[in-house]
Amino acid sequence: MFETLENIFRVEELRKKIIITLSLLIVYRLGCFIPTPGVDSVALATFFEQLRKIQGETLLGIVNMFTGGALQRLSIFALGVMPYISSSIIMQLLTGVVPALENLAREGKAGYEKINQYTRYLTLVICLLQGFMLALWLENPNNFRGILIVPDPGLIFRVVTVLTLTCGTVFIMWLGEQIQERGIGNGISLIIMTSIISRIPSSLYQLWVLYSPLDAAKRQISTVTVVSLILIWLAVVVAVVLFTQAQRRIPIQYGKRIVGRRVYGGQSTYLPIKLDMSGVIAIIFTQSVILFPATLATFFPGTNKFTMVIQTIFREHGLWYNLIYVSLIMFFMYFYTAIVFNPVEIANNLKKYGGFIPGIRPGKPTADYLDFVATRIVFIGAVYIAVIATLPNMVMKVFNVPSYAITSFFGGTTVLIMVGVLLDTMRQIEGQILAQGYEGFGKSGTRLRGRK
């Protein structure tokens, strides 16, 4: 491992890419501390702290985690990359539904660039809408239990806030593209991972506060709890690595074709079907949907029966909460897989180029077989995602640890994103190391597999 790390810096081109990537990530983190004009960031941070301790995790807390605390300070990067992620997911889903976008996707690089351009336009629209709604929300002290967040509300504040936050997100997109072109790894994914990692020290500090009193009787968590949390976290990371790289390989055989004096085909290969095709998309959708009612109850407090039911179901992380959570994960896993995995198209392409699955007839029988395999693979992946997603709730119940102290490094989304992005980045680094004749991260010729 240490020899591999030395080899990374021996390759001049790779060394430059890593330096560029780290420099641009530092620029992003510095921007997370530049405040938006007209907002009392100290008062807003105080509100977030109170909200987190009283009600646990809400949609605002999730967004704040993905922005690396920028929303809590309402910096120029307060919206983060979430508008771009949302527009990317929307365009990806529309590509499988709208024939015009589907035709663009089949045109290769030119079609991809066109779809990416539409994604940027949609991101701009989402930023304008979110920035305006956020400005209206900040102006009303009733949303913050009487705390004055904006000393001088009005049209000027709204215009400045919308333009500032929109420009901030556009600049983040530019940073991501520069990392993609001149650095190493996926730029947007690295920015999200950096935001999540930046929140881990805060969570560790919260755990230390709960454990630090010298008097054992005053400690809210014991030494056994701390050790157990560390061991569970290590086990979760190992499990995520294994399941992220897990795949079902379906053997493919190509028949021989004679064209003139040449013989084509005849080779054997395989079709990989990932255990987790959706990555973190299913769990992001699920968290957004299930945390939305609790967030609404925060904005519209009251004592009516409907509000009390919402608070009971979605804030106590009880049986109903977990049942709804798991059900939504299952739904979004199958829904996304149905969009991105088309057995009929795969079967037609295999038949077109003379490929077949041994023991399965080409055409519709092949499509039915692929659908049969994918359905069961997705079920296993959905169960795995559901276990990872509900693990923080189980940890809170078993060890009686507050959610704000473990969400940043125990949450299902955070672990999946960190492990997935690191695997993808290490795979790209390893590819460039092997191209220069050095050994990679694996042994005996084995190579890393990322999420793709």
Quick: pLDDT tens for 1-55.
566 667 777 778 888 889 999 999 999 999 989 989 988 888 888 887 777 666 5
Tokens, residue 112: 């991809």
Per-residue pLDDT tens digits of the chain, which is 452 residues long: 566 667 777 778 888 889 999 999 999 999 989 989 988 888 888 887 777 666 555 566 677 777 877 888 888 998 888 888 888 878 877 887 788 888 888 887 788 888 889 999 999 999 999 889 888 888 888 777 777 888 888 899 999 999 999 999 999 999 999 998 898 888 888 998 888 888 888 777 777 877 766 555 666 777 788 888 888 888 888 888 888 888 888 998 887 766 666 766 667 888 888 888 877 777 777 776 776 666 566 555 555 666 666 666 665 566 777 788 888 888 888 888 887 788 888 888 888 888 888 888 888 899 999 999 998 898 888 888 888 877 877 777 777 776 666 665 666 677 888 888 888 888 888 877 777 666 655 554 455 555 44
Q: How far apart are CA 303 and CA 348, in angstroms?
A: 59
* 153 to 37, 133, 157: CA distances (angstroms): 11, 14, 6
- pLDDT confidence of residue 441: 57
Output phi, psi for 275, to 5 deg: -65, -35
Query: What sign for the dihedral angle of Cα 381, 384, 386, 392?
Result: negative
- pLDDT confidence of residue 395: 78
- pLDDT confidence of residue 358: 87
Q: Are strands 247-254 and 268-274 parallel, antiparallel or unpaired?
A: antiparallel
- pLDDT confidence of residue 64: 75
Asked if 216 contacts 53 with a C-beta cutoff of 8 angstroms, the reply is no
Long-range contacts of the stretch 231-234 (C-beta < 8 A, 24+):
232/391, 232/395, 232/410, 233/409, 233/410
Q: How far apart are the first and last CA of the chain?
A: 24
Which one, of 153, 104, 164, 95, lies nearest residue 339 by Cα? 95
Q: How far apart are CA 197 and CA 223, in angstroms?
A: 24
Q: How far apart are CA 411 and CA 147, in angstroms?
A: 30
Q: How far apart are CA 381 and CA 112, in angstroms?
A: 28
Tokens, residue 268: 């054997």
Which one, of 94, 87, 88, 84, lies nearest residue 339 by Cα? 94
- pLDDT confidence of residue 258: 67
